[in-house]
Chain A
């Protein structure tokens, strides 16, 4: 009898160990895609907070909530649109302190670390596995956000304006300086308000174009990924503001 009791206890312990091993070492439920419940059974309300105008338009025009409910009929989503990214960070900062962050939020590359203590690890999700960039932005080996897009930075230019000024697409920094000066000289003479380069740099820019221009102007070419010091080469000075 005693031997039987010991065997039963051992079996129960083994079952407990195996159950613990089936999930991740981290107790975060976010690691299991969709959870243990069937989609139709998952229920509740979510707040999904965004700032992107294009995304909001697409959500409305394509009935995102309705489509989600086709798979999760007992779920509801409130899509909260905040005016712009600047207000978004102010709002999220306050809500983080008040324990009132939305269920789902967005982050930029440079805000992920700011909110790292408020984000669940999504490493175990299909979305993370299929994302080309998510793992590269992991913090402490945790995927805290899955990037919606892969962003490339472009210099847009008017081909006809280039052609009229007799310049071609620059392939070095020096060429870019020369092209810009030629464009300004050619069009600026008759159009005082003409700009070779439209910058759009308010005193407190919130997007990342400015540091790119800064990095380029200072000749660092740094990726910000490796915290190398600014280039030891003598950088060119910024052109003075034209009168």
Chain B
């Protein structure tokens, strides 16, 4: 279902193949819309839905939202006051509204709301009662557990495509290590 060589395709290649209708489904962030539109003859038949992770229709439909591209001022700046002023300016009406309307991504600023692109809005129309869950990349506790258990989810994701790989056994082992790590590190 993932093609002959899913680990050999880069994100750009996969997006282009989807845009050419060599694939039926692709999971991307909202930024993906611009990339697909740029590679496709037409996006008239393009639709979106949120990834359904629930097992049954009786469960809440949860989907992920996350902040992206966190602009920050570094401690190495020789001009932190000006740098902070630049951040303030970037997120002011002098710059931010024009930029956020240029990209397909959603606004992060409460004072500059943005209507979703009609293609992306379809996902909301299909799940009007969906529950948003914020993805934070793990945080310190997750990172500590990840280090303690040597849990590499990217490597595991790639291993899942290897013929003969036993995912059930790997997850069972990971479960044990995870529980032990939580006890050791005192993380509830």
Contacts and interface: CB of A to CB of B under 8 A. Distances in A.
B72 A106 contact: yes
B57 A172 contact: yes
Given A54-B31, A209-B29, A224 B137 contact: yes
Contact of B64 (A137, A153, A157, A193): A153
Contact of B84 (A34, A201, A203, A220): A34
A122 to B, nearest CB: 7
Interface string B49-77: 11111111100011111111111111111
A147 B10 contact: no
Contact of A197 (B26, B126, B174): B26
Contacts of B88: 33-34, 125-127
B115 interface: no
A130 B127 CA distance: 27
B7 interface: yes
A192 B110 CA distance: 48
Contact of A107 (B29, B70, B111): B70
Nearest to A117: B75
Given A136-B134, A145-B72, A196 B52 contact: no
Summarize B's interface: helix, strand, loop or mixed: mixed
Given A118-B76, A148-B68, A158-B21, A214 B55 contact: no
Interface in A34-73: 34-35, 37, 39, 42-46, 48, 52, 54-55, 58, 62, 64, 67-68, 71-72
Given A72-B85, A122-B72, A224 B138 contact: yes
Interface residues of A, number: 139
Given A54-B103, A144-B70, A200 B14 contact: yes
Interface string A68-106: 100110010100000000000000000100011111111
A33 B26 contact: no
Interface in A181-225: 181, 183-184, 187, 191, 193-205, 207-221, 223-225
